[in-house]
Structure formats: C-alpha cells, structure tokens
Amino acid sequence: MLTSPTLEKLKELSLTGMAAAFAEQLARPDYAELSFEERLGLLVDREATDRDNRRLERNLKAARLRCDACLEDLDLQRPRGLDGALLRSLAACDWVRASRNILVCGSTGVGKTFLACALAQAALRRGHRALYLRAPRLLDDLVIARADGRLARLLAGYGRLDVLILDDLGLRPLAAEQAADLLEVIEDRCGRRSTIVTSQLPVRCWHEVLGEPTIADAILDRLVHNAYRIELRGESFRSRERRGDERRGATAEEQGGDGDG
C-alpha cells in the first residue's frame, strides 16, 4: 500500500488530525493487531479532538479575556461570598444554554474580573463563544460605530455571542445616548444569550447610574430578572500586595488579579 499519497490527500482535505494519527499507526507495529474498524475509529476520534482543540484556541483568542482564569483556580478558602455549590453548578454551563445572566458585584480588587473570565472560559471549553469588554469601552465603540455606519453590524455581532462580559459597569453615570445604546445591546441578548456584568456598585444602586429612569428600568428588567447574583466581599488582592504580603505560594487567582480600577 502506498501510504504517502494517502497522507497527502488527508492533508489536502484538511484532515490534519487524521493524517497525524495515521502516520503514528504506520510507525507502530502494535496497531496492526487492531481491526480495521478500531483503527478507523481512532483516526476519526483524533480528527474530532484536533478540531475541537483548534476551535477552542480560536474562540479563546477571539474572546480577548482580560486574564487567563479557570474556575478551578478560585480561592474558596477566603470568606468573601463565593458559594462553592453555586460555582460547581455554574461550571456545567447550564446557565449559558438557558440564556441566564450573571451579575458580579464587589469593591475594587476582590476578584470580579477574574471570576467573570473564569466563567467565560468554562463556557468556551464547552463550545460556546464569548467576548470580554469593559463597559466604558463598549459604549465608546458604539458611538464610533454609529458615526461610521457600522452600528447595526456591531450590534448584530454582539447579539450572536453566547456569552458577553461587560466589566466595570457604572464607573460613571451614563448619558442618555449611552444608556439607549446599552439597552440595544441588552435587548438583543435578552432571553437569547447570556451576559456577565461586573460592577463595583451593588445591583440596588445601578438604577442611579443607568441614565434616564425609563431606560434604566428597561435595562435592569432585562438584566436582573433571570440572573444569578454574586456579591464578593473582602480585601483587595492588590491591597495585600502593597502591604508586602508574601507572594510565595499565592493562588493563581491572586496572580491573575482583578481588572477593575
């Protein structure tokens, strides 16, 4: 059997995982003991695994997460409002399939951004698509998109994402036009996609910073009604660092830090 043409055809068909697995089978005599069906199954499994890995790599890159965070790296020993049972439930990503939101509140530096990125990464590893955006940057992008005629396309893109992180909502009160733009983003996703919002303000205070009361009501109604709420407490990781706390043995979460200011 001429194997080189077969390998080349597999590569031409973009079956690179199958080609690599086939080359491995040729190099190891013990594979000859397997049946045709078993060897074919191994080739197909390898191709599927390689495609999944490449898709995950692309989606992770496109998500532009602020930090490389995993739920497994969260420090549950510190008493700061993290419920281990809830996190294990969220790790299964049923909240994404059910198009539920997650609202994470807490003072600066307590790990809101890390938690949001960890939740998004869990979703990415289950085949969903995600994107990290700081809320102020989102609002600026919408203003620019309106000016150059890309607004409808940008909103459509946000609407197709399985998970959208809006980090640092409410750093400053929104102007009427900003609140209206935010409502468009939230409206397109309501009941269809999941949104993770982080804020230094508790949810009860969001109404004051979301602009005109009618629009604020509409935004909150769409964000809050089906959302998981997580309120983080405790001391800022960065404050501990500034006091010269020992870095040896620090958790991955501490090293990842928190994106809010």
pLDDT of 125 > 50? The answer is yes
- Token pair, residue 134, equals 């700081």
Tens-digit pLDDT profile for residues 143-187: 999 999 999 999 999 999 999 999 999 989 999 999 999 999 999
DSSP at 261: -
Residue 210: closest CA among 184, 181, 260, 175: 175
CA–CA separation, 208 vs 217, rounded Å?
10
Three-state secondary structure call for residue 194: strand
Tens-digit pLDDT profile for residues 8-26: 888 888 888 888 888 888 8
Backbone angles phi, psi at 53, to 5 degrees: -65, -40
Q: What are the helix and strand counts (H, E) for the chain?
A: 13, 5
CA–CA separation, 115 vs 93, rounded Å?
14
What is the band of 136 on the pLDDT scale with cuts at 50, 70, 90?
very high
Using CB atoms within 10 A of its CB, is residue 191 exposed (0-12), middle (13-18) or buried (19+)?
A: exposed
CA–CA separation, 59 vs 41, rounded Å?
27
Beta bridge partners of 104: 198, 230
